[in-house]
Amino acid sequence: MASESRSEVGAGIPETARPIRGLSSPLHPVSDTDQPEYETLQRMKSWLWVAVALAAAVSSPSAQSSAIATSEHKVRVVSRVPSLAGQTVELYVRERFRQGAPAVPSADRVVLFVHGAGTPAEVAFDVPRADYSWMAYLADAGFVVYAMDASGYGRSVRPPPMHDPCNLSQEQQKQFIPALIPAPCAASYPGQVTTIASDWHDIDTVVDYIRATRKVERVSLVAWSLGGPRAGGYAAQHPEKVHRLVLLSPAYNRDTRSEPPTLPSPGTVFNTQSRAEFDANWDRQVGCPNQVDPAVRDVVWTEMLASDPVGSKWGPGVRRAPNTTTWGWNGEMIGRVRAPTLMVAAALDRQVPPDRVKAAFSDLGASDKVLLDLGCASHNALWEANRLLLFAASRDWLASGTVNGARQGVVTMGHPKPE
């Protein structure tokens, strides 16, 4: 499949890479025993690790804003989205890297971020505020970092049915009457607009583009929410291309059907989210003091609308996302994943509850696997107070395959200290 970049690539580093917008950088234990002495020692070790991780994050170089560059790519893919099947379309890919880094990075230093069901990758993982960019954090640690928007998201191709508000549910249409549509209307497309298979195909195209550009055999994947089935399912099918995995709150149901339904699958074509819905969904998952900086919500929402010039003009401004038909990411498929995997369960997550993540972790086939139990964290943990614990754990896992010295088991951190 043909691929192209908006940047000219010379010696592996895009010449037109530009500095990111003003990102400055301040920059309970693994336990499989009930012995009290062991638990006390491990708790001390865990809290020491947390303190070191936070100190490292806070003390990272203040020159990060000038040292970390950004390049934007458009990667061509022959689409497998049902309404675009066979057409050559473009996927948006953002790259973050340290200026002056080797043109051919180490094999374990190339990372691709994969987004979830609603928020595009560049919005989710590259928040332009202080130390909130997960991409910049890893780039500052010496990784070459990419993030991709799958078809239907952000700055990638939008299937034509997503431009018709009649393809929303009847309930969501109401907010656009009469400003956008005069009355409720029938859908012009017969079902959900993208599929997990089209997502896997998009990921494969971008992975191959990165492998060719950076001259590496394998890429590590970091994914969030529905990105779990996307990245994890991809790793199960292409083990030769995946180095390590980090899965934050991965969606999972071990009984998901293995075979695809008839496509397009009946259902609403796409959905929208307003600022009020965005805030309400987050508010119901806040349970700790100072868990969320209100100013960060404004930054994320501003970036959300900037990624969707069409949706930003619908009513007060909304984020559009495709409804995706899924299958395959079940007990059998996750059992085939062999890439060393860090899974993160956010303690306050009400979208993918911790028990769901623990089930996925139990079924995961990888021999090296760690479950991070992250306290005072919601589904939006990457934008919250304990984000630096998450970022540091991902950095260590991607670099060495360990968190807090562990290659297997459960690591607990970020929970309130006992009284």
Burial class, 179, CB count within 10 angstroms (exposed 0-12 / middle 13-18 / buried 19+): exposed
User: Which tens digit of pLDDT belongs to each residue from 272-285?
Assistant: 999 999 999 999 99
Give the structural domain span for 313.
9-413
* In the predicted structure, residue 112 carries a pLDDT above the cut 70: yes
Phi, psi of 315 (to 5 degrees): 55, -135
Residue 4 forms part of a structural domain:
no
- What total of structural domains would you count in the chain? 1
Q: Which residue type is seen at 2?
A: A
Which tens digit of pLDDT belongs to each residue from 340-388? 999 999 999 999 999 999 999 999 999 999 999 999 999 999 999 999 9
**What is the pLDDT of the chain when averaged over all its residues?**
87
- pLDDT at 376 (0 to 100): 98
In a domain, 151, yes or no: yes
Q: If residue 13 lies in a helix (H) or strand (E), which one and from where to where? A: strand 13-14
Residue 135 lies in a domain: yes
Q: What tokens appear for 193 in the block?
A: 């607009």
Over residues 177-188, the pLDDT tens digits come to 999 999 999 999
**Percentage of the chain modeled with pLDDT above 90:** 81
Strand-pairing partners, residue 273, are 319
Report if residue 3 sits inside a domain.
no
Q: Above 80 in pLDDT, residue 95?
A: yes
Residue 271 lies in a domain: yes
Given a cut of 60, whether residue 223 has pLDDT beyond it is: yes
Res. 162: pLDDT tops 70: yes
CB-count exposure of residue 182 (10 Å: 0-12, 13-18, 19+): exposed
309 is a domain residue: yes
Which residues contact residue 299 at a Cβ distance below 8 angstroms, ignoring those fewer than 6 apart? 127, 128, 129, 132
Is 95 part of any domain?
Answer: yes
- pLDDT of 101: 80
Specify the CATH number for the domain of residue 376: 3.40.50.1820
